[in-house]
Amino acid sequence: MPDWSTIAAFSAATVALLLIPGPAILYILNRSVSDGREVGLAAVAGLEVGDAIQVMAAAAGLSAVIATSATAFNVVKWAGAIYLIVTGVRTLMHPPAPIDPDQPGVSMRRAFRQGVIVNALNPKTALFFLSIFPQFIHTADGSAFTQSLVLGAVFVVLATLFNGTYSLVASSLRDLLLRGRTLPFVRRWVSGGLFVGLGVLAATAGHASASTH
């Protein structure tokens, strides 16, 4: 079981990551802007089911890695830090694709199904969980699987709150979001900077942990 300081640190990192407009947020914005509040919230529900599936897979995978080798676990931690930094650099280098408000409308059921697929079958989502979880798992605090599940539950709860808010705001501010320049700036420059910063923090945490053993 993670201690409260670890949960607090993970929550702070999760909030920072939830502020980065990625595929999930873009899907929420598209559905909320195109089809309204109810469909947008159905999409959010599907996305969080997908997150829960990815959490279970990541927890099982990390537990297997730790049981096999401490060195392998450190390799996963460093690979995760590098992945976050590379993702940030690529985000900074390429302008984001525009939101398409003219996509065909979908039902709530279909929006839910698509939301599950967006997160559950997205390899980038799996890489994200494998990147961030190892930075907050400490072998001295008990089962890695249990720690991962607790952190995953925290992530899903926070993601539901944030993504639900995005849907409600997007459906209410449709015209403003489509005309304004703030969202493209945030999607490229703020998102890229946050990814790079989190990658550097992850690399530093990994180095500190390695030096204590």
For residue 23, pLDDT over 50 is answered with yes
Q: How distant, in Å, are the alpha carbons of 55, 88, 178, 179 from that of 182? A: 32, 19, 10, 9
User: What range defines the domain where residue 136 resides?
Assistant: 4-208
The number of domains in the chain is: 1
Please report, rounded to a whole number, the percentage of residues in the chain having pLDDT higher than 70: 67
Tally Cβ neighbours within 10 Å of residue 191: 22
Highest mean pLDDT among 66-75, 97-106, 193-202: 193-202
Residue 213 maps to a domain: no
| Residue-wise DSSP of 63-104 | HHHHHH-HHHHHHHHHHHHHHHHHHHHHHHHSPPPPP-TTSP
Tell me the pLDDT band of 134, cut-offs 50, 70 and 90: confident
The answer as to whether 176 is a domain residue is: yes
Checking if the pLDDT of 80 tops 70, the result is: no
3-state secondary structure string across 174-210 = HHHHHHCCHHHHHHHHHHHHHHHHHHHHHHHHHHHHH
pLDDT, tens digit, 9 for 90 and up, residues 43-68: 899 999 989 988 888 888 765 665 56
Specify the pLDDT at position 44. 94
Average pLDDT over the chain reads 76
Given a cut of 50, is residue 212 above it in pLDDT? no
Q: How confident is the model at residue 28 (pLDDT cuts 50, 70, 90)?
A: confident
In a domain, 94, yes or no: yes
Is the per-residue pLDDT at 21 higher than 80? Answer: no
Q: Mean pLDDT throughout 83-98? A: 78
Instruction: Flag whether 188 is in a domain.
Output: yes
Contact residues for 115 (Cβ-Cβ < 8 A; gap 6+): 27, 42, 43, 44, 45, 46, 47, 48, 49, 50
**pLDDT exceeds cutoff 60 at 38:** yes
Tens of pLDDT, residues 106-118: 688 988 987 887 7
Mean pLDDT for the stretch of residues 172-189:
66
- Do the domain assignments include residue 70? yes
pLDDT at 168: 92
Q: Has residue 136 been placed in a domain?
A: yes
Average pLDDT in the 117-132 region?
Answer: 73
Q: Is the pLDDT of residue 207 over 70?
A: no
pLDDT at res. 52 = 92
- Look at the chain and count its residues: 213
What is the structure's pLDDT at 96? Answer: 67
